[in-house]
Amino acid sequence: MFKINEEYLKLPGSYLFSTVARKQREFEAAHPDKKVIRLSIGDVTQPLVPAVIDALKKATEEMAHKETFRGYAPDLGYDFLREAICKNDFHARGVQMDTDEIFVSDGAKSDCGNIGDIFSVDNRVAVCDPVYPVYVDTNAMAGRAGNYDAFTEKWTNLIYMPCMQENGFAPELPKEEPDIIYLCFPNNPTGATVTKAQLQTWVDYALRIGAVIIYDAAYEAYISEDDVPHSIYECDGAKACAIEMRSFSKCAGFTGVRLGYTVVPKELMQDGVSLNALWARRHGTKFNGAPYIIQRAGEAVYTPEGKRQTREQIAYYMNNARIIREGLAKAGYSVSGGINAPYIWMKTPDGLTSWEFFDRLLEEANVVGTPGSGFGPSGEGYLRLTAFGTLENTLEAIERISKM
Ligand code: MLT
Domain ranges of the chain: 6-47+305-403, 71-303
Ligand 1 centroid from CA 272, angstroms: 35
Q: What is the pTM of this model?
A: 0.97
Report the sign of the C-alpha dihedral through residues 280, 284, 286, 287, in that order: positive
**Which atom from ligand 1 is nearest to the alpha carbon of 386?**
2
- C-beta neighbour count of 243 within 10 angstroms: 24
Ligand 1 centroid from CA 332, angstroms: 27
Consecutive H or E run containing 262: strand 260-263
Write the pLDDT tens digit of every residue in 280-304. 999 999 999 999 999 999 999 999 9
Distances (CA, A) of 12 to 116, 137, 148, 381: 20, 9, 8, 20
Model confidence at 13: pLDDT above 90:
no
DSSP character at residue 271: T
pLDDT of residue 130: 98
Write the pLDDT tens digit of every residue in 301-353. 999 999 999 999 999 999 999 999 999 999 999 999 999 999 999 999 999 99
Taking CA atoms only, the protein residue closest to ligand 1 atom 4 is 42
Contact by Cβ (8 Å): 249, 218: yes
Model confidence at 138: pLDDT above 90:
yes
Q: How far is CA 295 from the centre of its chain?
A: 20
Q: Which amino acid is at 51?
A: A
Our answer on whether the CB atom of 38 is closer than 6 Å to any ligand 1 atom is no
List Cβ<8 Å contacts ≥24 apart for 114-122: 114/138, 114/282, 114/286, 115/214, 115/243, 115/245, 115/262, 115/279, 116/142, 116/144, 117/282, 117/286, 118/275, 118/278, 118/279, 118/282, 119/144, 119/179, 119/180, 119/212
Terminal-residue alpha carbon distance, the chain:
57
| Of 383 and 15, more confident | 383
Write out the CATH class of domain 71-303.
alpha beta
Q: Do 6-47+305-403 and 71-303 have matching folds?
A: no
Ligand 1, pocket-test mutation among 43, 138, 184, 254, most atoms within 8 A of CB: 43
Three-state SS for 99? helix
Best CATH choice for the domain 6-47+305-403 from the list 3.40.50.10210, 3.40.50.1100, 3.90.1150.10, 3.40.50.150: 3.90.1150.10
Write the pLDDT tens digit of every residue in 170-207. 999 999 999 999 999 999 999 999 999 999 999 999 99
In sequence order, what DSSP letters do the residues of 307-373 get, joined into one string? HHHHHHHHHHHHHHHHHHHHHHHHTT--EEE-SSSSEEEEEPGGG--HHHHHHHIIIII-EE-EEGG
Model confidence at 15: pLDDT above 90:
no
Contact by Cβ (8 Å): 336, 192: yes
d(CA 83, CA 85): 5
Ligand 1 centroid from CA 247, angstroms: 11
